[in-house]
Structure 1
Amino acid sequence: MKALHIITGLGIGGAEQQLRLLLRHLPVECDVVTLTNPGAVADELAADGVRVIHLGMTGNRDLAALPRLVEVIRAGRYDLVHTHLYRACVYGRIGARLAGVKAVVATEHSLGEAQMEGRRLTAGVRALYLASERLGRSTVAVSPTVAERLRRWGVPAPRIEIVPNGVDVARFRFDPVLRAHTRRRLGLPEGAYLVGGIGRLAAGKRFDVLIRAVAQLPDDYWLLLVGGGIEESVLRRAARHAGVADRVLFTGERPAGGFPGADLPSLIAAMDVLASPSAEEAFGLAVVEAMAAGLPVLYVSCPAVEDLPAGAARGARRVRGGAASFARALTEVREEGPAPRSVPHAAHHYCITRSAAQLMNVYAAAVSCT
Structure 2
Amino acid sequence: MKALHIITGLGVGGAERQLRLLLRHLTIDCEVVALTNPGAVADGLVADGVRVHHLGMGANHDLSALPRLTGLIRAGGYDLVHTHLYRACVYGRLAARLAGVRAVVATEHSLGDSQMEGRRLTAGVRALYLASERLGSTTVAVSPAVADRLTRWGVPSPRIEVVPNGIDLARFHFDVSRRHHTRRRLGLPEDAYVVGGIGRLTGGKRFDVLIRAMARLPVDHWLLLVGGGPEESVLRRTAHEAGVADRVLFTGERPDVPDASPGPDVPSLMFAMDLLASPSSEEAFGLAVVEALASGLPVLYTSCPAIEDLPAQAATGALRVRGGPEAYAHAVAAVRAAGPRPRTAADAAHHYSISHSAARLMDVYTAAVSSSMPPSPQESRST
1:5 aligns with 5
1:179 aligns with 179
2:341 aligns with 339
Letter in 2 for 1:296: P
Deviation at 1:297, TM superposition (A): 0.2
State the identity %: 76
Alpha-carbon distance between aligned partners in 1 of 2:253 and 2:159, rounded to the nearest angstrom:
36
Q: 2:49 matched to 1:49?
A: yes
1:309 corresponds to which of 308, 311, 335: 311
Show the 5 A alignment for 1:214-229.
Answer: 214-229=214-229
Alpha-carbon distance between aligned partners in 2 of 1:286 and 1:272, rounded to the nearest angstrom:
14
1:261 corresponds to which of 238, 260, 263: 263
Quick check: 112-121 or 155-164, which moved more?
A: 112-121
Show the 5 A alignment for 1:89-238.
Answer: 89-238=89-238
Which secondary structure does the structure 1 equivalent of 2:314 belong to?
coil
Deviation at 1:241, TM superposition (A): 0.8
For 1:262-317, what per-residue CA distance to the aligned partner results, in whole angstroms no more than 9, with x for missing partners?
A: 10010000000000011100000000010000000000000000011221112001
1:38 aligns with 38
Alpha-carbon distance between aligned partners in 2 of 1:40 and 1:182, rounded to the nearest angstrom:
21
Which secondary structure does the structure 1 equivalent of 2:217 belong to?
coil
Which secondary structure does the structure 1 equivalent of 2:319 belong to?
strand
Alpha-carbon distance between aligned partners in 1 of 2:34 and 2:190, rounded to the nearest angstrom:
44
RMSD between aligned residues: 1.2
When normalised by structure 2's length, the TM-score is 0.95
2:329 corresponds to which of 327, 352, 356: 327
Letter in 2 for 1:7: I
Deviation at 1:338, TM superposition (A): 0.4
Quick check: 314-323 or 57-66, which moved more?
A: 57-66
Alpha-carbon distance between aligned partners in 2 of 1:260 and 1:332, rounded to the nearest angstrom:
35
Deviation at 1:164, TM superposition (A): 0.3
Following TM superposition, the consecutive aligned residue runs of length 4 or more in structure 1 with deviations greater than 4 angstroms are: none
Alpha-carbon distance between aligned partners in 2 of 1:190 and 1:65, rounded to the nearest angstrom:
52
Deviation at 1:330, TM superposition (A): 0.2
Which secondary structure does the structure 1 equivalent of 2:11 belong to?
coil
Alpha-carbon distance between aligned partners in 2 of 1:40 and 1:175, rounded to the nearest angstrom:
25
For 1:223-261, what per-residue CA distance to the aligned partner results, in whole angstroms no more than 9, with x for missing partners?
A: 00001111111111111111111100010122499x923
Gap regions ≥5 residues in structure 2: 373-383
Letter in 1 for 2:111: L
Letter in 1 for 2:201: L
2:351 aligns with 349
When normalised by structure 1's length, the TM-score is 0.98
Which secondary structure does the structure 1 equivalent of 2:183 belong to?
helix
For 1:299-346, what per-residue CA distance to the aligned partner results, in whole angstroms no more than 9, with x for missing partners?
A: 000000001122111200100100000000000000110011111110
2:291 aligns with 289
Letter in 2 for 1:130: L
Alpha-carbon distance between aligned partners in 2 of 1:260 and 1:97, rounded to the nearest angstrom:
42
2:26 aligns with 26
Which secondary structure does the structure 2 equivalent of 1:312 belong to?
helix
Alpha-carbon distance between aligned partners in 1 of 2:47 and 2:267, rounded to the nearest angstrom:
19
Aligned residues: 369
For 1:6-48, what per-residue CA distance to the aligned partner results, in whole angstroms no more than 9, with x for missing partners?
A: 0011111100110000000000100001111111111111111
Letter in 2 for 1:160: I
Which secondary structure does the structure 2 equivalent of 1:12 belong to?
coil
Which secondary structure does the structure 2 equivalent of 1:72 belong to?
helix
